[in-house]
Amino acid sequence: MAGGADGAAEVAEAFRELYGSPPDGVWAAPGRVNLIGEHTDYNDGFVLPLALPHTTLAAVARRSDGVLRLHSADVVGGVVELRPDALEPGGGGGWSAYPAGAVRALLDAGHAVTGADIHIASTVPTGAGLSSSAALEVVTALACNDLFGLDVPRWQLARLCRRAENLYVGVPCGIMDQTASACCTESHVLHLDTRHLAQRQVPFDLAGEGLRLLVVDTRVQHELGEGAYARRRATCEEGARALGVPALRDIAPDGLEKALAALDEPVVRRRVRHVVTENARVEQVLGLLDRGETRAIGPVLTAGHASLRDDFEVSGPELDLVVASANAAGALGSRMTGGGFGGSAIVLTEEAGADMVAMAVRDAFAAAGHRAPRVFTAVPSAGARRLA
């Protein structure tokens, strides 16, 4: 088994100690941040995520008796043993529902996965809105794909992992996080049309342009499984029904005023306005990146935050404070990223001013009496892969 800085050798060794023989291989799947395009993926819209250097590693060996044995270095407790074919929809299975759900989704799609021993270790912060769940699903699905010679394309693995999360974990998420973890590439953001699942890798060489993207994890926990995310989704579907379109994606920016005038409920109007303007912001950022005008995306990111705060109402005091303090300290733009209700924000800044911006955010948190945030750099990294 190859060693190295990627942690594969350590995870393989831990597997051997746990299960008594070496794994067949080691795989990695990253967490993500989303540059722009929030709460658009379940409206058939556009997203623009990038993979983080933080990954979930899985050492895996095939079994032939239909059993899945799961162990995580990051969870207190021993090996969980279960049969994925006996999983009940609806979730409630704790952390093991993510990998087990991924295997079950492969089985549901007719793929012969006859069981596995799995040991997991992750550097993706959990509960931070950085898609640790998707990383866990995707690393499991990719390992099974390789070990059982399934030949499922990555975009399809992402779909199966979303199904796992919807059905077997019980979170009604969209397709962004799983696709980001499965399909992102180094030094790129991934433009994804979530209706047609068309993808484009867009060059995003921040370091080369003297820029830095900071991630500020507010360390305030969000609970995606709880009602707010599902309620946002339901309200968007209600809006689309009222407007007579399959999804809010079908409202073009120049049709927004007319659409808003046709809606009675102020809350539905606000949600619709966010989704329509957010889709337009994704396309605007894409255009700027294509023209090499990376600095000019800053104000678009900040406008996206205002829309999430005021129209979609999924921000919170800590996220708002990151954006206000970072921008006041000279950042080019910032916004919450992911589902919201806590979690993380991203900040685009000049490389030269990055430390000052980070310090300003930390000072603002201290002055407000918030817990110190965790700040790190988002280097656009590779998607899921086999390490050994």
- Contact in structure between 274 and 314 (CB atoms under 8 Å): no
The contact pattern for ligand GLA, residues 322-351, with x = CB under 6 A and - = no contact, is ----------------xx------------
Residues 128-167, one symbol each (x = binds ligand GLA by CB under 6 A, - = not), give: ----------------------------------------
Q: Quick check: 174 binds ligand GLA (CB under 6 A)? A: yes
Residues 358, 359, 362, 364: is their CA dihedral positive or negative?
A: negative
Comparison of 339 and 383: residue with beta carbon closer to ligand GLA: 339
Among 12, 27, 31, 38, binds ligand GLA (CB under 6 A): 38
Minimal distance, residue 38 CB to ligand GLA, in Å: 4
Contact window for ligand GLA (CB under 6 A) among 39-47, 76-84, 107-115, 183-191: 39-47
One-letter amino acid for residue 68 of the chain: L
Q: Does position 305 bind ligand GLA by CB under 6 A?
A: no
Q: What are the start-end ranges of the E strands in the chain?
A: 25-34, 46-47, 49-62, 68-72, 80-82, 116-122, 188-193, 198-203, 211-217, 333-337, 344-350, 374-377, 385-386
| Alpha carbon distance 144, 149 (integer Å) | 8
> Which is it for strands 116-122 and 68-72: parallel, antiparallel or unpaired?
parallel
* Binding residues for ligand GLA, total number by CB under 6 A: 10
Q: Which of 177, 205, 264, 355 is catalytic?
A: 177
| Per CB under 6 A, 173 contacts ligand GLA | yes
Examine residue 217 and tell whether it contacts ligand GLA (CB under 6 A): no
Strand order in the sheet with 344-350: 333-337, 344-350, 211-217, 374-377
What is the greatest pairwise CA distance in the chain? 66
Pick from 27, 41, 158, 184: which binds ligand GLA (CB under 6 A)?
A: 41
Question: Which residue, 15 or 168, is less far from ligand GLA as judged by CB?
Answer: 168
74-96: b or e for each residue (b if 16 or more CB lie within 10 Å)? eeeeeebebebeebeeebebebb
Write out the two tokens for 152: 């499922």
Stretch that binds ligand GLA, among 37-45, 84-92, 146-154, 291-299 (CB under 6 A): 37-45
Binding residue (CB under 6 A) for ligand GLA from 177, 217, 311, 318:
177
Copy the structure tokens of residue 234.
């339901």
Q: What is the Cβ-side half-sphere exposure of residue 166, based on CA atoms within 13 angstroms?
A: 15
Least Å distance between CB 312 and ligand GLA?
9
Which residues fall within 8 angstroms of residue 266, CB to CB, at 6 or more apart?
none
Report if residue 311 touches ligand GLA, rule: CB under 6 A.
no
The count of other CB atoms within 10 Å of the CB of residue 186 is 14
Catalytic residue list contains 177: yes
Q: Minimum CB separation from ligand GLA for residue 129, in Å?
A: 7
CB of 233 to ligand GLA, least distance (A): 8
- With CB under 6 A as the contact rule, which of the stretches 2-10, 35-43, 87-95, 144-152 interacts with ligand GLA? 35-43
Q: What are the residues binding ligand GLA (CB under 6 A)?
A: 38-39, 41-42, 173-174, 176-177, 338-339
Residue numbers annotated as active site = 177
